[in-house]
Amino acid sequence: MQQIIEFFIRNKNFLLFLTLFSLGYALTQKAHSGLYTRNIASTNKITGSVFSWLADKRNYFALREQNEELSAANAQLLVQYYKSKQDHQDSISGINLELTGNGVVIDTFEGRSLNIIRAHVINNNYHRRKNTLTIDKGSLDGVIPDMGVSSPVGIVGIITHVSEHFSVAQSVLNTNSRVVVKSKNSDHFGTLVWDGERIDQLLLTEIPKIAPLSIGDSLVTDGKSTIFPRGWPVGTVTDIKPAKAQDYLEVSVRPYTDMSNLYHVFLIQRPEAQEIQELETLSQNEF
C-alpha cells in the first residue's frame, strides 16, 4: 500500500500530465465529431460577448469596404428585380419584399416564401481544416440549425449549432462541408467540397464528364439539398481536370466570397424545407 502511495507521489507530475493531456485529447475528439459541449464553443455567453465587442471595434475600420460591397449587392438585386418584372409581365404582383424585425421575407411569385435574417459574423476562422463561423443571431431571432449562410455575394456556410443569442456555422472551408451545386447554364450537378489547402479554392467533385463546363463559368446552388434555394451564387470555375474516377470531372472553384473578409451575412431558410424532408423520409420508409 505504502509503495503504491509512494509511486503516485514520485510520479505525480507524469500522472497529472497524462490526465490533463487525455482530457484535452477527449475534448478535441468531441469537437471533431461535431458534438460540441455548450461550454467549449464560442456560442458560449462569455466568448460570445467578447467577440461581439471585438467585432464592433473592428468594424469601424472596415466600414468603407463593407458599404461598397453592400451597395454593389443592392444594385444587383435591383437589376434582378426589374428583370424579373419584365420576364413575368402577367404575374406582376410578383416579388414582394416585406420588412420584418431583423430581416426580410421575400415572397416569390410561386407563392413560396424565403425567410432571410440579417446577421453579422463575429468570429471567423479560416486557418484550420475544420473552420467555423460564429454569428450574432440565435434562436431568439429565429435562427434554426441547417439554415444557409450567405454573404452579399455568395454562399458561406451552413448553421450547425444555435444558442439563444448566437449561432455557429460550418464554413464552406471545412473538410466536412458538402454543398450540392450546378452550373448556371445546365442542370448537371456535383458536390462542392474543400480539400483543406487554400482559402480561395474549393473543389467541385462528382460532376459527370458530359456536363458542358468551361473555365470562367458561374456556379450556383442546386436547390436539391433544401438548405439553399435554387440559383444562389457560389463561385466561378478556375480549372477543370479529369477526376481519378472515370466519367467524372474535378473542377477547381473560386468562391465569390472572400472568406477571410466577412462581416455582413444573410441567414436563409426555405420554409418548405421541412415539408420536403418529411415527405422524403416518408417515401424512404415505404420502400
**Rounded-to-integer distance, Cα 200 and Cα 178, Å:** 16
131 versus 269: smaller Cβ distance to other proteins: 131
Q: What is the DSSP string of 240-265?
A: EEE-SSTTEEEEEEEESS-TTS--EE
Among 25, 62, 63, 184, binds other proteins (CB under 8 A): 25
The least CB distance from residue 175 to other proteins, in Å, is: 8
The least CB distance from residue 210 to other proteins, in Å, is: 31
Burial 43-53 (b: 16+ CB within 10 A, else e): bbeebbeebbe
The least CB distance from residue 47 to other proteins, in Å, is: 5
**Rounded-to-integer distance, Cα 23 and Cα 266, Å:** 37
112 versus 129: smaller Cβ distance to other proteins: 129
Residue 205 phi, psi (nearest 5): -115, 170
Question: What distance, in Å, lies between the first and last C-alpha atoms of the chain?
Answer: 64
Residues from 192 through 251 that contact other proteins (CB under 8 A): 196-199
Question: Binding to other proteins by residue 252, rule CB under 8 A?
Answer: no
Question: Binding to other proteins by residue 61, rule CB under 8 A?
Answer: no
Closest CA to 168 of 33, 41, 20, 35: 41
Q: What is the DSSP string of 174-225?
A: ETT--EEEEESSS--EEEEE--SS-TT-EEEEEEETTS---TT-EEEE-SSS
The least CB distance from residue 178 to other proteins, in Å, is: 17
DSSP state of 229: P
259 versus 273: smaller Cβ distance to other proteins: 259
The least CB distance from residue 174 to other proteins, in Å, is: 11
Task: Please state whether beta strands 167-174 and 202-208 pair in parallel, antiparallel, or not at all (unpaired).
Answer: unpaired
123 versus 150: smaller Cβ distance to other proteins: 123
- Per-residue interface string for the shown chain with other proteins, residues 85-124, x marking contact by CB under 8 A: --------------------------------------x-
4 versus 9: smaller Cβ distance to other proteins: 9
Among 7, 8, 11, 21, binds other proteins (CB under 8 A): 21
- Per-residue interface string for the shown chain with other proteins, residues 160-179, x marking contact by CB under 8 A: --------x-----------
CB-count exposure of residue 57 (10 Å: 0-12, 13-18, 19+): exposed
134 versus 226: smaller Cβ distance to other proteins: 134
The least CB distance from residue 101 to other proteins, in Å, is: 28
32 versus 83: smaller Cβ distance to other proteins: 32
Task: Please state whether beta strands 148-150 and 130-135 pair in parallel, antiparallel, or not at all (unpaired).
Answer: unpaired
Hunting for cell 503504491 — which residue is that? Answer: 4
The least CB distance from residue 80 to other proteins, in Å, is: 33
Contact set with other proteins (CB under 8 A): 12-14, 16-17, 20-21, 23-32, 36, 39-42, 44, 47, 50-51, 54, 123, 125-130, 132, 134, 168, 196-199, 260
